[in-house]
Amino acid sequence: MLRDVYLPEVVDGKPNSNGNWELIMMDAAVGISVHLDDRAAYDKAMAIYLGRVPAYFYLASDGPQPKYPPRSSIDTKNELIDYWHGQDTFVNGLAQETCRDFGHTGMAIAATMHVAETSRIQGRDLYPEFKDRFRQALGFHAGYELGAPVPSWLCGGSLHKGIGPATEVGYNALHTRLGVGMEKTRELTEGRRPAGTENHFEAWETLTHAENPN
């Protein structure tokens, strides 16, 4: 069932859709590939993930605008701004779906961290490569989720909050294991414990990850 029904549905991703689709699909594809011991499918899913992460979470070091989503038809600045839900000012930690809503952005954050955790177990630690990108994304959204005033340049001055239980895994990886200071993420994460099962694939992550150095 996993090999013949589910894996074909997710392993190719969905490059023109909102980025949470592809990140969640790669979360599923990577997990299935490990279970099946399918190296080819694992490598394919990881390649898509490694291209999608920097195209979903922006850092100023990327340049004046975010990276174009790989393998997609989006290849002009106007198309990119439209894809980022009308946002044309880019700052550290902003995500492709920030101006859509925090719910889908939170799902993307969670899926991104799940894949990073699986990759680490499989022998490739992605946190050194993505540490700053992950830290900025978590902190940016945590601050507004906690009630920081929304500037007029950000999503027209209005955000649809509700990030869900998305921060526990990333907070543990960066803060507990790597010692990264993350005050806003700490406040949000610890203030909402225990994380429950608010959507399809985030479940009991306080139990599995909180203060877990392994």
Three-state SS annotation for the chain: CHHHHHHHHHCCCCCCCCHHHHHHHHHHHHHHHHHHCCHHHHHHHHHHHHHHHHHHECCHHHCCCCCCCCCCCCCCHHHHHHHCCCCCCCCCCCECCCCCCHHHHHHHHHHHHHHHHHHHHCCCCCHHHHHHHHHHHHHHHHHHHCCCCCCCCCHHHCCCCCCCCCCHHHHHHHHHHCCCCCHHHHHHHHHCCCCCCCCCCCCCHHHHHCCCCC
In a domain, 118, yes or no: yes
pLDDT of 214: 83
Report the range of poorest mean pLDDT among 83-87, 89-93, 138-142, 205-209.
205-209
Q: Which tens digits make up the pLDDT trace of 141-153?
A: 999 999 999 999 9
- Domain of 85 in residue numbering reads as 2-209
In a domain, 70, yes or no: yes
Q: Which tens digits make up the pLDDT trace of 97-138?
A: 999 999 999 999 999 999 999 999 999 999 999 999 999 999
In a domain, 179, yes or no: yes
pTM above 0.95, yes or no: yes
In a domain, 34, yes or no: yes
In a domain, 214, yes or no: no
Domain count for the chain = 1
In a domain, 121, yes or no: yes
In a domain, 69, yes or no: yes
